Amino acid sequence: MLQKLNIQNYAIIDQIAIDFSANLNIITGETGAGKSILMGALSLILGERADSTTLMNKDKKCVVEGFFKAGGRKEIKGFLKENELDIEDEVVIRREIAVNGKSRAFINDTPVNLGQLKELSSLLVDLHQQFDTLELGDSDFQRQVLDALAGNGNLLQEYTTIFTQYSKTKKELQELVQQQAAANTALDYNQFLFDELDEAGLKENELEELDAELKLLSNAENIKQQLSAVYFELKDSDQPITQQVKSLSNKLHGLQQYHASIEELTKRLLGAQAELQDIGDELEAIDNGVQYSPERIQVVNDKISLGYKLLKKHNVHTTAELLVIKDELQQKLNDILNIGEAIAAKEQVTKELQRQCERLAAAITANRNKAIKPFTEKVNALLAQVGMPNAVIKVQLQSIALHIDGGDSIEFLFDANKSGRFEPLRKVASGGELSRLMLCIKSLVAKKLQLPTLIFDEIDTGISGEAAKQVGIIMKDLSSGHQLIAITHQPQIAARASAHYYVYKSTKGDKINTAIRLLSNDERITAIAQMLSGEKPTAAALENAREMVAID
């Protein structure tokens, strides 16, 4: 409930403070007095955009502040908790517009962004302005009305969660199928490349080792000749080097008694002789292992030729790089197999989510169908009450493909004159008809959902007389359980007020200001009489006004 509204330095408002009642608050005043300005200021704390042109005094900031009684509503407490805002029984929303046009918003004195402000305000206030009657023709609004009356809130929440998962999974499935199609296009080629590398049977560093072996095989005769010459001199000549070194070490051995260092040198010479013997043995072994083989040369040449062909084909330089490419091709081939398995798994999940969506959508549709008859009957009865006895509304519910709101399309159809020809509401209803219809529908929805404060800005457009009286009755009845704030030009509606506020212009210095005051009972009667007969009400008008107020 909106308990208090403070406005400073907005348009032609210098400063205003309004305390609202908990029931039906009526605001009246002459055309141009500033009633719409009040709504403009209120819309600021509901999250609308603002700029510096709204400042009355360009040297001061504009401040609009609303004090709301939250009444312990769990959705409001949940919002405050989720956004780490102070949880109080009273929620204070403030909007400030600086002289440079920049605005700031606060909830319980904590800065917030416009998105947060709009989210909270939607829980606190339902603002209906003249142009909002266009909502009636909007399919989303119509669905929301029917679902509210059908009690589909929890079902829709569950359905929306699962449908979102279903849509995401379905999209992922489509992407996997596309990936598979793209992979299949290259499958044959990748398989050919892999098979080619696999058949080559290359091992780590094999081409580099084969290169070295080919050099050895190609120079086998020369290598053997040189090796033989070396180890022959070391071991097998008439005077082998190893024997000469041994003889020299023996000579030194006989001189050890004459010099202390000769013993160590003798040992080193013996070590050199042993090392030379080992070198000779190894050279002989190498020589024995080097065999000229035209057959092996051919095998090595063929393998190297194949390897170089593959190196060139894949634009790399080493065996290791070819093996990496082979592994990558193997992974691609495995991925195609994995995609197939992933598609099968994803198809199962998608089908299960679809089944869940269909089950929930069917329950939602069933509730909607149950709600249609009582909804149309009540609305048609209210339409007759507000002066539209020949108007009939009906709801067309058709099955369509599953979407975020279920499996139905919803259309409100309207016949203003019992002609039997129903057309979409947006095409046939006039402005006045839409205003009264909106009131009828909102009165039903508000009772069902316990909507927050309802604000009607001239919802009485296009009506008068008995129709206006009945609108007043409906609003009065609705205000018994909801706070209503309504701007009106109709005395029949104003007479139903729990609190009647009068907007007027006053002159302060050389400036014109909009002001507002709560009328006493006698002032109410005078204001209503003026609405009936003009600036100077007649005695009959005053008496009529007294009767209207007294009836209420």
Judge whether 122 and 43 are in contact, CB under 8 Å. Answer: no
Q: For all residues of the chain together, what is the average pLDDT?
A: 85
Sign of the CA dihedral with 346 first, then 352, 356, and 361 last? positive
Q: What is the pLDDT of residues 130-179, one digit of tens each?
A: 434 445 667 788 888 899 889 998 999 999 999 999 999 999 999 888 88
Judge whether 109 and 88 are in contact, CB under 8 Å. Answer: no
Q: What is the pLDDT of residues 504-517, one digit of tens each?
A: 888 877 788 888 99
DSSP state of 55: B
Q: Using CA atoms, how far apart are residues 325 and 27, in angstroms rounded to an integer?
A: 81
Q: Using CA atoms, how far apart are residues 349 and 166, in angstroms rounded to an integer?
A: 8
Sign of the CA dihedral with 63 first, then 64, 67, and 73 last? negative
Judge whether 438 and 461 are in contact, CB under 8 Å. Answer: no
Length of the chain: 552
User: Residue 429: pLDDT band by 50, 70, 90 thresholds?
Assistant: low
286-303 burial string, b = 16+ CB within 10 Å, else e? ebeeeeeeeeeeeebeeb
Residue 391 tokens read as 């108007």
Q: Using CA atoms, how far apart are residues 234 and 242, in angstroms rounded to an integer?
A: 6
Q: Give the per-residue SS3 of 465-489.
A: HHHHHHHHHHHHHHCCCCCEEEECC
Q: Using CA atoms, how far apart are residues 243 and 250, in angstroms rounded to an integer?
A: 11
Name which residue leads in pLDDT, 89 or 112: 112
Enter the pTM of the model: 0.63
Listed in sequence order, the DSSP H helices in 46-152 are 74-82, 114-124, 139-150
Q: What is the pLDDT of residues 267-301, one digit of tens each?
A: 888 888 888 888 877 777 776 666 666 777 788 78
Nearest CA among 164, 161, 141 for reference residue 445: 141
Q: Using CA atoms, how far apart are residues 234 and 230, in angstroms rounded to an integer?
A: 6
For residue 128, the model assigns a pLDDT of 60
Nearest CA among 445, 368, 470 for reference residue 410: 368
Name which residue leads in pLDDT, 429 or 383: 383
109 φ/ψ sector (left φ>0, alpha ψ -120 to 50, else beta): left
Residue 71 tokens read as 């009444």
For residue 500, the model assigns a pLDDT of 95
Q: What is the pLDDT of residues 515-539, one digit of tens each?
A: 899 999 999 999 999 988 888 888 8
Q: Using CA atoms, how far apart are residues 357 and 406, in angstroms rounded to an integer?
A: 8
How far is Cα of residue 205 from the mean position of the Cα atoms in its chain?
A: 53
Q: What is the pLDDT of residues 471-498, one digit of tens each?
A: 888 889 888 888 899 888 889 999 999 9
Judge whether 398 and 404 are in contact, CB under 8 Å. Answer: no
What is the Cα gyration radius of the chain?
A: 48
How far is Cα of residue 357 from the mean position of the Cα atoms in its chain?
A: 21
Q: Using CA atoms, how far apart are residues 533 and 527, in angstroms rounded to an integer?
A: 10
Residues 6+ apart with CB under 8 A from 385: 470, 473, 474
Judge whether 458 and 488 are in contact, CB under 8 Å. Answer: yes
Q: Using CA atoms, how far apart are residues 506 and 29, in angstroms rounded to an integer?
A: 13
